[in-house]
Chain A
């Protein structure tokens, strides 16, 4: 384990350190990609980060993380985002790892955390069900205690890269009689447990990005519950708090904007004042989004808390990303509808891939309609309907 105190490093030095590493070690095939990169492609690079001890910026140092304060966290993401580095399936790091650090038993921490850091375990998130999307608390997959095991029956859906995952963390109903939020528990399961079936689902972009996961009398060891029985909902909500900042990061919009700029340069579009006007509007929108992101992060640093206004970041980042890709698709002209990357001068860019990949950002992690409901109620204090 490294003994470097990253938080004590001057900001520029910290940024240079990351930037140099990315330039040296991160292959071009993982940068500026308008699609979700699969685990086998990104594994070698992820292992390099792991070896450096740079895989888990937000985890405390004692658990093998970088223990970054909020300022360095923002810098970390800033460097990776502006370099267009693709995201590995990182739900182990950003979600379940964080949750275990906070709520897991000592045995769970000791077993799972090192495996996550070493990339031995790849996690997927089993929350949504066919009948329970925005209204997640209505979920019906049930778990019944039978001796030393939970017996799980039901179905999850939209489980991102479940086909690559070794483990799943999920919300299940353990008390069907309680109020819907109060009968839910948080369980962990190996994906190779008998009775679990995975069916990949193809997206608009033609990628098998998410899956259906079926549970048919799946027996899971009793100790695989996180926290107390029937307290899963509260923990899941805390987890949402952890991802608020990541989910609202300008990353995707910035990566797409980088490709838009390249496309524009190759097509000579900077001589077209109509294009330049649209382009600059996006640029200024991204700048102000980044500024807002920093301002909120700053408030956190000075002891403020993550309030519901964080929803703004998620709304703005996902919609900006879509607008960037819509402009890219349009100015790609006749090459816009091409499947896969096509050549624009010397550049190879996939506008359609970007366009599709930007669609679900307004749907997942709390749809933008739900986020606006939160803002209207919790921030603007509007009355209920």
Chain B
């Protein structure tokens, strides 16, 4: 995928990116979901490459971005602290100013691809605000990695008073928080689109199976109860599509961070929840074969479980939406 230049999806053309708009990115991720392609495009393109592209470090942009875009340098984003949370108040690592720059300690959790990348974009809290660093010397970082349902992995990165020079700062305390939120929300749009592609494919596979599989001398798709369940999935998918495209359009229209966060959470909630109900019902439609790992449906089941959780699950996004909703409208 890097060969196609896709890692530069949202990066402006003058920085060697593809300069696509968010709508195109969403459409692409929907297809990635449909085909169940396990490329970490969200991580490399939308979290790591975008961080370097939108950051304030011209040297890193010149030296590192082309490598990330071409796929020669793989990178990920490390930020989340102990508590499950969606915004920058949940940043785990801590940065303290030192003589030679910054000293980083603490832990970033659930970092995608933690043990298989060359570099990290690390978000850390300081007394002045949140910073983003570029890190490719990992000698003082310990990684504890776990395998996930879909064959990918994530891990916890623990920094043991690692010293980082000022040249590695991508975003200073004034800009770090808004950049991080922007990176995460855009990535959530792509993950939602991938979930949408997953569910569409699972529905299609299920419909084919319902038509072909015969029991009691007729196709099981002729049983009305199964038809209604299929229709319910179709309805969920339509609602998910609406929520996804509302987020895309809101962001493309230049929404402020609050409006962006609300529509993104509305999309990620809906797509995560619908994604899981679609795979669950998909298993049921298929009977015992739906419970096997050998059958293609399993790819979508495993992937959906990971994507439904990645960058915040349904529950977390409903909570974020509620908080924003109440602070904007709840008082009136």
Evaluate contact between B291 and A203: CB separation under 8 angstroms: yes
Partner of A333 from the list B84, B224, B276 (CB cut-off 8 Å) is B84
Min CB gap A287→B, angstroms:
24
Partner of A337, one of B150, B223, B224: B150
Is B73 an interface residue, CB under 8 A from the partner? no
Give A136's nearest chain B residue, CB to CB.
Answer: B215
The number of residues on chain B lying at the interface, defined by a beta carbon within 8 Å of a beta carbon of chain A, is: 40
Which residues of A86-135 have CB atoms within 8 Å of chain B's CB atoms?
128, 131-135
| A382–B255 CA distance with the chains assembled, in angstroms | 55
Decide: A359 and B283 in contact? CB cutoff 8 A. yes
Q: Determine, out of A169-177, A229-237, A362-370, the stretch whose residues face the partner at the interface.
A: A362-370
Residue contact B293 to A202, C-beta cutoff 8 Å: yes
CB–CB A336/B305 < 8 A: yes
Pick the residue among A135, A204, A337, A369 that contacts B226 (CB under 8 A). A369
Q: Determine if B291 and A334 form an interchain contact, defined as CB atoms under 8 angstroms apart.
A: no
With A135-B216, A352-B149, A369-B223 as contacts: A334 and B292 at CB distance below 8 Å: no
Residue of A nearest to B297 (CB): A204
Shortest beta-carbon distance from A264 to chain B in Å: 13
Residue in contact with B291 in the complex, picked from A128, A363, A385, CB distance below 8 Å? A363
Q: Interface digits, A342-372 against B, CB 8 Å rule (1 contact, 0 not)?
A: 1000000000100100011011100111001
Q: Does A11 contact B (CB under 8 A)?
A: no
User: Please, how many angstroms separate the alpha-carbon atoms of A135 and B216 in the complex?
Assistant: 6
User: CB of B319 within 8 A of chain A?
Assistant: yes
Q: Is B225 on the interface with A (CB-CB < 8 A)?
A: yes
Which of B109, B226, B313 has the most chain A CB atoms inside 10 A of its CB? B313
Given A135-B216, A329-B305; A363-B315 close (CB under 8 Å): no
A338 contacts B287, CB within 8 Å? no
Within 8 A of A (CB), among B260-307: 276, 280, 283-284, 287-288, 290-294, 298, 301-302, 305-306
Residues of B within 8 A of A201 (CB): 292, 294
B84 to chain A: which residues have CB within 8 Å? 333-334
| The one of B154, B225, B287 that contacts A134, using a Cβ cutoff of 8 Å | B287
Residues of A within 8 A of B319 (CB): 274
Could you tell me the distance between the alpha carbons of A261 and B225 in the complex, rounded to whole angstroms?
34
Best-buried of A206, A210, A274, A336 by chain B (most CB within 10 Å): A336
Q: Mark B64-85, 1 if CB is under 8 A from A, else 0.
A: 0000000000000000100010
- Cα A363 to Cα B290 in complex, Å, equals 10
Most buried by A among B109, B147, B284, B288: B288
Partner of B280, one of A206, A359, A372: A359
Query: Which residues 212-257 of B sit at the A interface, judged by CB distance below 8 A?
Result: 214-217, 223-226
CB pair B280–A334 under 8 Å, yes or no, is no
B148 within 8 A of A: yes
> Contact at B292–A339, with CB atoms within 8 Å?
no
B306 near A337 (CB under 8 angstroms)? yes
| B110: interface (CB < 8 Å) | yes
Interface contact A204-B224, CB-CB below 8 Å: no
Q: Would you call B141 an interface residue if the criterion is a C-beta within 8 Å of the partner chain's C-beta atoms?
A: no
Does B57 have its Cβ within 8 Å of any Cβ on chain A? no
B309:A337 contact, CB within 8 angstroms: yes
Closest B residue to A332 by CB, please name it. Answer: B309
CB distance from A346 to the nearest CB of B (A): 15
Q: At the interface, yes or no: B316 with Cβ under 8 Å from chain A? A: yes
Name the residue on A nearest B292 (C-beta): A201
Task: Tell me the complex Cα distance, A360–B290, Å.
Answer: 9
Q: Is the CB of B293 within 8 A of A203?
A: yes
**A294 CA to B276 CA, complexed, in Å:** 33
In the bound complex, residues from chain B placing their C-beta under 8 Å from that of A158 are 288
Tell me if A146 is interfacial: C-beta within 8 Å of chain B.
no
Task: Check B147–A339 contact: CB distance below 8 A.
Answer: yes
> Bound complex: CA of A134 vs CA of B284, how far in Å?
12
A369-B225, A369-B226 as given contacts; A339 in contact with B313, CB under 8 Å: no
25 pairs, CB–CB < 8 Å, chain A vs chain B: A131-B214, A133-B215, A133-B288, A134-B287, A201-B292, A203-B293, A204-B283, A204-B291, A204-B293, A204-B301, A210-B288, A274-B315, A322-B280, A326-B280, A333-B313, A333-B316, A334-B109, A339-B147, A352-B305, A355-B305, A359-B283, A360-B288, A360-B291, A364-B288, A385-B224
Q: Closest 9 A-B residue pairs measured CB to CB?
A: A334-B110, A135-B215, A333-B84, A202-B293, A337-B149, A337-B148, A158-B288, A339-B147, A135-B216
Contacts A326-B280, A334-B309 supplied; 11 other A-B pairs, CB < 8 Å: A133-B215, A134-B216, A157-B288, A202-B292, A326-B276, A330-B315, A337-B150, A339-B146, A340-B147, A363-B284, A363-B290
